[in-house]
Amino acid sequence: MSDIIQLLPDHVANQIAAGEVVQRPASVVKELLENAIDASAKHIHLIIKNAGKTLIQVIDDGTGMSETDARLCFERHATSKIRDAEDLFNLSTKGFRGEAMASIAAIAQIEMKTKKEGQELGTRIFIEGSKITNQETIPTAKGTNTSVKNLFFNIPARRNFLKSDAVETRHIIDDFQRVALVHPDIHFILNHNNSEIFNLPPGNLKQRIVHVFGKKTNERIIPIHEETDVLKLTGFIVKPDFTKKKRGDQFFFVNKRFIKSPYLHHAVNAAFEGLKEKGTHPGYFLYLNVPTNTIDINIHPTKTEVKFDNEKILYEILRAAVKHSLGQYNIVPGIDFTKDKNLETPYGYKDKPITNPKIEVDANFNPFKTENNFNPFQNEKAKSSRPFSGSNPSVRQKNNEGNWESLYHGIESLANVPVVENELHQELFETKEIKLVKDSFQIQNKYILCNLNTGTYLIHQHLAHQRVLYEKFLANITVREASSQQLLFPISISYSKQELEILKTIKDELESTGFLFECLAEEHVIVSGIPTTINESQISIVFEQLIEDFKEDIQENSFSQLDMISKSLAKTLAIKTGTKLSEVEQEVLIQELFECKETQLSPFSKKIYTTITRKKIDHIFNTH
């Protein structure tokens, strides 16, 4: 029998390795940025086109490479960081395995220009599919200029798996931010399709955070610092008042590397216990520095997951440090059980002499005089009809003598005015003629039990309203123009540049739902009109939910994007569990639900109602 095992050709092996290292354009961005940082660059310029599918270019002013190093850096396992296996457990640089550049070269067309300081000429190399097609000596600036073009040009199947430009751009921005946040001393610039998205000048850590996430962040964060033998912790945590329902703005950096650690995240959550609303997540920018021999960063290809030798100790230190910072900046309410607040003397009265209170008595006041209209033995009807014009009875008597009839002047004109009873303002639903519902009952302000022409139903009010709003918003966006209410005073809301980019991409769709914008400036949005279905207090909540939804799952085609906007608006604006509904509101909700195209499932495929038959009731009570 002939042998069947054979060695793979180098170009095939490189393409297979690229599948682990280069998952999307953002992976290339991360590797090139980290290479520039390892080269001690102080200015790094990132240029991308078509979400990195056409071009990813990184220009730095680092140390550069010699002609030999420039050629050798594209070979597999070629690295300047590792000499033996022990070095893997004492790493202080970014890239070290020597796989990144070789993997990128296997699936893209690369042009690199580099020059070391002190040299007159540099080197330019062209590589296509792991093969060097040209190498020449040219005049160029100090540092390295790497251009990665037509990613996955030789693997069409992989290119087809890439998401939309909006999704891939978001991933690139995420990786760019993670690198920029941990190196505030480096000047970073990001351009996408000839438009500048970020220009981050060098500064301190807080300045970098504010530049990335907007000026609003400055007043929302408080510093944290703790130093022990096993851990040095610095950074900032977001105040409990600004926690979000979605996990956003949560950054862990260990030895200047971004990591994901559910275990350490739990420690921060534990420190915030009792200070934030249920179901919300705290934001933080935490920088941990631990001895290099106590951490293994080589357990995952992207190096975002690490393993600590002493996780439990780090957990307790982190939780205690966050609690201490919250208390130090008066975020945690403090109670002193040794003092009685009622017995403390205000500072303004501390040195003033004590004076006896004076009591003034009206000697002429007689409560039993009939002219005072204040006879305690009068019946209740007489007392209630007595006019009240002051706190002093003698003054009241003097003012009313002779002209008491003037108090009732014009009362005859009110006789024919019809009595207006309290009107029922339908804020949640429009009133309409109810033909379908016979009677309904609300249970625990969550479910509606109703008898319809077709039977008895138990309806989840929140999910039912989601379905109603979803179909309304989708129809407004795709079929007809929605009505809008003009705001008397336009509202300005601050956002980070990344959040603004998301709002800009869905601006037209939001205007179709009824929103009107005066401008979407560098760090804020001015809203001049809103849909008639929401009020001013809900604007920021709606936008925040939209942004978070799009960060998690931006769809591929335009209809799916419209569908997502409709779902997000419906989820945010639907009546919540615990909302008490009047009978009319219940009936209108039920009727609107059964007028929808889909009545059984919510926009998120959850069951809206169940039918209650006599057979089910008999089964509950075991009767037949």
Average pLDDT over residues 578-606: 89
* The predicted structure's pLDDT at residue 96: 44
Q: Compute, in degrees rounded to 10, the torsion defined by CA atoms 545, 546, 547, 548.
A: 50
Class of domain 437-612: alpha beta
Number of residues that make up the chain = 624
Confidence of residue 387 (pLDDT cuts 50, 70, 90): very low
Residues with Cβ within 8 Å of 357's Cβ and at least 6 positions away in sequence, in order, are none
Contact call for residues 561 and 509 (beta carbons, < 8 A): yes
Domain with CATH 3.30.565.10 in the chain: 10-200
pTM of the predicted protein model? 0.69
Res. 204: pLDDT tops 50: yes
Confidence of residue 584 (pLDDT cuts 50, 70, 90): confident
Domain with CATH 3.30.1370.100 in the chain: 437-612
Distance CA 392, CA 49 (A): 82
CATH code for the structural domain at 10-200: 3.30.565.10
Domain with CATH 3.30.230.10 in the chain: 207-327
* The predicted structure's pLDDT at residue 44: 96
Least confident range of 120-134, 501-515, 543-557: 543-557
Residue 144: Cβ within 10 Å count? 28
Confidence of residue 170 (pLDDT cuts 50, 70, 90): confident
* The predicted structure's pLDDT at residue 17: 59
Across the beta sheet with 195-200, the strand order is 131-138, 122-128, 109-115, 143-149, 55-60, 43-49, 187-192, 195-200
Distance CA 440, CA 423 (A): 21
Average pLDDT over residues 172-182: 93
Q: Which one has a higher pLDDT value, 10 or 29?
A: 29
* The predicted structure's pLDDT at residue 406: 57
Pick the closest to residue 74 from 82, 83, 65, 84 (CA basis).
65
Contact call for residues 10 and 77 (beta carbons, < 8 A): no
At position 191, the amino acid (one-letter code) is N
In Å, how far from its chain's centre is CA 229?
A: 35
Strand locations in 376-505 (E)? 437-443, 447-452, 455-460, 484-494
Distance CA 146, CA 201 (A): 22
Strand locations in 130-263 (E)? 131-138, 143-149, 187-192, 195-200, 221-227, 232-238, 250-254, 257-259
Q: Which one has a higher pLDDT value, 354 or 72?
A: 72
CATH 3.30.230.10 fits 207-327, yes or no: yes
Distance CA 179, CA 548 (A): 21
Distance CA 169, CA 192 (A): 9
Average pLDDT over residues 464-468: 93
